[in-house]
Amino acid sequence: MDKFEIEGFRFSAVGAGIKHADSDRLDLALIASERPATTVGVTTTNLVCAAPVTITRGCLQRGIAQALLINSGNANAYTGDSGLANALFLTKSVADSLGIAHELVVPMSTGVIGQPLPVDRMNAKISELTRLMNPSSFMDAASAILTTDTTPKTALVEKPLSNGPLKIAGMAKGAGMMAPNMATMLAVVLVNMSVEESYLRKVFAQANDLTFNRITVDGDTSTNDTAIIMSGGSNQSKALLDNDMDRNLFSQGLTSVCADLARQIVKDGEGATKVVEVRVFGAPDEFSAVRVSRRIAESPLVKTAFHGEDPNWGRIICAAGSAGVKFDPSKIDLWIGSVQIVKSGNLIAGEWEAQAKQEMRLPEFSISIDLKTGLAHATILTCDLSEEYVAINADYRS
């Protein structure tokens, strides 16, 4: 059995030639549940949102869906009324092919902005997608949703609950345009158990806040960001019981799936060679902690220093100082990995430089800063800024 197989859900993926008509790369995926599943999620905060996002928002508000049609290669964003009509046409086509109500189909797109969707080529593949659906093609779907990602991103958690085994499987795509409040990120999380809607909304929002909303690649916010969760897709799905222990295990499991996907997104950020945890402690409140860590995590000067494995701590403190959060620079502590560099505002005497450089040579390391003004803390995951990021994005469309 495929390890991502999850009761009640089936998958398929085809190449529809969405980006290049003559390519057979997988770029269209279908994920469907056996019965309408409790489905909630979050979408981009960008004022300019893609056509599919508008439709998705309606589904997420109703809290129920049965199929996700996801394409890469074209964002169907800023495509006006015809973009909306195209997305609706395709969801209807999927609904007809599956024999379900078209309001149960959620469209998701990622790729270039402002190009009309090749709707005929896509529609021609719908019946094939429906026919191919099976429980073990999770990885095909996870591959079909990628754009400049170099590798599929998946995560899995299993836990024994009172009512039976819990299984949570997630897939995501990321790469560039990672941002304050979500990334150009599509994430789909599937749960074998039935979880009631209001609780699912609350727990998924919390998990998002601690994971997908705490990563950054380049600080841009996409038009298409969507993270969605479907639960209880099978007629046999057991219910998540309303007891603290089960709910805690579910919430922990869900957060760990999202955190796992979020870290993979940063690791595979465009041109990224390093994952860096920017940890801020001693902040007056959590909002300020996030603000300072995000400012450091998004500073091009800090990110290029990460890339150069240069313990240029001055740039880190400089970025912190421009975050708009009040603290006393002469009191702070700063570490690169486990190497302390600044203590109570004073540079540590001695041979920390070589040790700090050593830490930065690792593919993953952390920066910690204690502002000494309060008890709140936050961590943002970021990556380095490399020549490769520029090369990828200077050429993306061509």
Select the span of 90-98, 127-135, 360-368, 383-391 touching its own copies (CB under 8 A): 383-391
With CB under 8 A as the contact rule, which of the stretches 6-14, 32-40, 62-70, 173-181 interacts with its own copies?
173-181
Binding flag, residue 362, its own copies (CB under 8 A): no
State in angstroms the smallest separation of the CB of 285 from its own copies. 17
CB-nearer residue toward its own copies: 85 or 112: 112
Compute the distance between CA of residue 26 and CA of residue 357 in angstroms, rounded to an integer: 41
Active site (catalytic) residues: 184
Residue 130 Cα distances to 12, 15, 65, 142, 361, angstroms: 7, 14, 16, 17, 47
For residue 379, which phi and psi values (nearest 5 degrees)? -130, 135
Contacting range for its own copies; rule: CB under 8 A; set: 106-114, 127-135, 148-156, 228-236:
106-114
Encoded amino acid at 77, one letter: A
Q: Contact at 8 Å (CB) between 156 and 6?
A: no
Q: How far is the CB of 184 from its own copies (least distance, A)?
A: 9
H helices of 218-270, in order, are 244-267
State which of positions 299-358 bind its own copies (CB under 8 A).
Answer: 299-301, 304-305, 307-308, 310, 312-315, 317-322, 325-327, 329-330, 345-347
CA distance 230 to 254: 12
Q: CB of 122: closest distance to its own copies in angstroms?
A: 19
The answer to whether 48 contacts its own copies (rule: CB under 8 A) is: yes
The answer to the question of residue 235 lying near its own copies (CB under 8 A) is no
Provide the sign of the torsion angle of the four alpha carbons 51, 52, 55, 61, taken in this order.
negative
Out of 66, 222, 288, 293, the residue judged to bind its own copies by CB under 8 A? 222
User: What is the C-alpha to C-alpha distance for residues 258 and 248, in angstroms, rounded to an integer?
Assistant: 15
Q: Of 79 and 143, which has the nearer Cβ to its own copies?
A: 79
Which residues does 5 contact at the CB level (< 8 Å), separation at least 6?
135, 136, 138
Site membership for its own copies, residue 112 (CB under 8 A): yes
Q: Is the dihedral of CA 191, 62, 244, 248 positive or negative?
A: positive
Instruction: By CB under 8 A, name the one of 15, 135, 164, 219 that touches its own copies.
Output: 219
Q: Which amino acid is at 35?
A: R
Q: Which of 1, 21, 47, 354 binds its own copies (CB under 8 A)?
A: 47
φ and ψ of 263, to 5 deg: -65, -40
Stretch that binds its own copies, among 13-21, 34-42, 213-221, 373-381 (CB under 8 A): 213-221
Report the C-alpha gap between 34 and 65 in whole angstroms.
11
Binding site for its own copies (CB under 8 A): 45-49, 75, 77-78, 80, 112-114, 176-177, 179-180, 218-223, 299-301, 304-305, 307-308, 310, 312-315, 317-322, 325-327, 329-330, 345-347, 385-387, 389-398
